[in-house]
Amino acid sequence: MSLKNWDNKTWLSSKRYIQSFNSFLIKQIKLNTNSHILDIGCGRGKIIGSLYSKLRLKEKPTGIDIEIHKDKDKRINFKKIDAIRYLKNNNKKFDLILIKQTIHFLSFKEIKKLISLCKTKLKKEGKILIFTLETSKNEIPTFLLMKKKLKISLNRDKKIILLLSKLYPSIKKRKFTFKVRILIKKYIQMINNRYISILLNMSKNQILKGIDEINNKYRKTLIFNDKLICLILNK
């Protein structure tokens, strides 16, 4: 089962979230109308599509993903391809390479290869920005089984962060926080759509049981912080 709903009609696709996220990006790296941007695991490409408009880029950003979405952003050059394969076969250099909540799908060996290749594709002042979920004080609303799977996933993310920190001692860490306010009805719809990877392999019965738990555990409106860790690597 593929992850097609992570940025589909959720707070992650809202105008407010995208504006907030892009403001954070621009604080971490100097970008201008001549900048070249690559988004690895871009989903529908709404984030870099918005950057294209905000910065009035001369060239469309490149977004790569292994899923094709019918409603992908028309302001990006979308390519359905594996990231490592793309980087190996492309000589283009980028000012920003964005890897948002994607790296956890890879093995440690693939992560080492990917980041090594990314560094060779950076311009002189270019940066790689890698985003993962906050690993210690995550506030994502969960039911019991979801919470257990999330804990396993976050522990692996900790190991990935440690790995990259050892490989690249100069790596910088920042945090991005977005306050989410969402009706429980809408959040349940997101769970049904398996908006996060830890839900992908759950059975229909497990999802339905989880939804009952969510209804009993939370009020009509959910308010929480969506927190990400940002790892920044220079050339």
What is the H or E stretch that residue 221 is in? strand 221-234
pLDDT at position 67 is: 83
pLDDT at position 25 is: 96
pLDDT at position 12 is: 83
- Report the alpha-carbon angle 190-194-75, nearest 5: 75
Separation CA 2–CA 59 (nearest Å): 30
pLDDT at position 13 is: 82
166 contacts 158 by C-beta, under 8 angstroms: no
Contacts of 156 (CB under 8 A, 6+ apart): 104
222 contacts 182 by C-beta, under 8 angstroms: yes
Separation CA 61–CA 98 (nearest Å): 11
Residue 129 has which token pair? 């920005």
pLDDT at position 9 is: 64
pLDDT at position 116 is: 97
pLDDT at position 43 is: 87
Level-2 CATH architecture, domain 11-181+225-234? 3-Layer(aba) Sandwich (3.40)
**pLDDT tens-digit readout, 18-36:** 999 999 999 999 999 999 9
pLDDT at position 8 is: 54
DSSP state of 61: P
pLDDT at position 11 is: 85
**What values do phi and psi take at 84, rounded to 5?**
-65, -40
Report which residue type is found at 174.
Answer: R
Output the pTM of the full model: 0.92
Spans of the chain below 50 pLDDT:
1-3, 5-6
- In the chain, domain spans: 11-181+225-234
Residue recorded with tokens 């900048």 = 35
